[in-house]
Amino acid sequence: MATVALTTANFDEVTSTDGIVLVDFWASWCGPCVRFAPTYERSSEKHPEITFGKVDTEAEQALAAKFDIRSIPTIMAVRDGIVVFAQPGALPESALESLIEKVEQLDMDEVREQVAAHKKGHEPSAATSGAAS
C-alpha cells in the first residue's frame, strides 16, 4: 500500500479507525526525512494491513502544532484511535519493523484501561479541588 497524505481535513478520520496507522511527520527540506522516506515506503509495501500516513509539516502546521512536533522526522503509531507511540528521529528499517511488531502485539484492552486511569487521575476530586477545606 502506498502512503497516504494526511491533512487537517482527513487526519482524525484516518487515525480514529480500528487498526494501526503509522504517521511520519516530515518536510521536504529535512535531509533525514528524505533519507527515511524509502524505508517508510518499503515498510508500507510489506504491511498492506497498516495505514502509512505522511504529514508534511510545512503544509500542515496546525497538525504539527497539535501534536507538539518539534523535531522531524517524528514517527507516531496510532492503534484503534489511540496514540501508542511517538518519537522523533528516522528509524532504521529493522527498528521500524520492530515498532510495528510491538504495536501489533499490544493488548488494547490494557491500553484503554491505562488511558482511562490516566484521565481519571487528572480529574479534580473533592479532596484536591479545595471543596474539602
With a threshold of 0.75, does the pTM exceed it?
Answer: yes
Q: With cut-offs at 50, 70 and 90, classify the pLDDT of residue 39.
A: very high
Residue 127 has pLDDT above 80, yes or no: no
pLDDT in tens, 75-106: 999 999 999 999 999 999 999 999 999 999 99
User: Has residue 128 got a pLDDT over 70?
Assistant: no
Catalytic site residues? 30, 33
pLDDT, position 122 = 67
Q: How confident is the model at residue 119, as a pLDDT?
A: 83
Counted residue by residue, the chain has a size of: 133
- CA–CA separation, 6 vs 63, rounded Å? 9
